[in-house]
Amino acid sequence: MAERISVVENILGANDRLAQDNRARLDAAGVFAVNLMASPGAGKTSLIEQTLPRLAQKFRVAVVDGDIATSIDADRAAAAGASAAVQINTGGECHLDAVMLQQALNRLDLSAADLLIVENVGNLVCPAGFALGTHKSVLVASIPEGDDKPYKYPGMYRGVDVLVINKMDLLPYINFRMDYFRAGVEALNPGLVTFPLSCRTGEGLDAWINWLTQHATRNTQHLIPGT
């Protein structure tokens, strides 16, 4: 058991060091980056599709999509207005890691981006354990998933900077106890910045866009001229 723990610690340590390199690279380019995590079907890609057009007049937004296979999500991001979209297929891995993001950064012209959205692999376990080098970690939860997820996946909820509660338009039709859900989140991550919204109706999206705008503006050095 001790040997296994040592191996895991070495892997995570190497990942963290490379994540620091990724962060330094993003900082040098003036690019603000977020790591978007969620379970499959929570609405990561839909949130990206709603976010990109709302930021297009102010920022150049690049997207890195992580998935086990296909380029479907990267294609959707490109169609929604991403300045660049890179697909990373993990070949079976249930999360992105710093090496994979480094490979994606090598395929991007960071001088032509202000904001980078990284869409992690749909999973509520593995992504929380691997730093990428992004500035903020965002978890997308959704009403249909149920109100027990903070209790079942504490590591994910404990380690994020922002929580998006998606599909709020379904709340009247699903047995989702918002007070129970929020109590679980608060116990793990007190004061967590939270945006209840609906990608289908647009409800709550303005607050999310304002948050992204404020943070990207603080970090970017390459705003589009004239905006």
Q: What are phi and psi of 40, to 5 degrees?
A: -60, 135
Residues 6+ apart with CB under 8 A from 131: 15, 16, 19, 98
Residue 124 lies in a domain: yes
Residue 32 lies in a domain: yes
Helix (H, G, I), strand (E, B) or coil at 70: coil
- Residue in 80, 131, 78 with CA at minimum distance from that of residue 108: 78
CATH of the domain at 26: 3.40.50.300
What is the C-alpha to C-alpha distance for residues 80 and 72, in angstroms, rounded to an integer?
12
In Å, how far from its chain's centre is CA 221? Answer: 22
Range of the domain at 125: 2-219
**pLDDT number for residue 126:** 87
In Å, how far from its chain's centre is CA 111? Answer: 21
With contact defined as beta carbons under 8 Å apart, do 47 and 199 qualify?
Answer: yes
With contact defined as beta carbons under 8 Å apart, do 81 and 161 qualify?
Answer: no
**pLDDT number for residue 198:** 98
Residue 224 lies in a domain: no
What is the C-alpha to C-alpha distance for residues 78 and 184, in angstroms, rounded to an integer?
36
- Measured CA to CA in angstroms, residue 86 lies from 40, 164, 209 at distances of 19, 23, 22
**pLDDT number for residue 36:** 97
Residue 227 lies in a domain: no
Tens digit of each residue's pLDDT (9 = 90 or more) over 65-106: 998 878 888 999 999 999 999 999 887 788 999 999 999 999
**pLDDT number for residue 91:** 79
**pLDDT number for residue 219:** 66
Residue 226 lies in a domain: no
Q: In the chain, which residues have pLDDT < 70?
A: 1-12, 219-227
Residue 225 lies in a domain: no
Residue 35 lies in a domain: yes
Residue 127 lies in a domain: yes
Total count of domains within the chain: 1
**pLDDT number for residue 7:** 40
What is the C-alpha to C-alpha distance for residues 23 and 32, in angstroms, rounded to an integer?
9
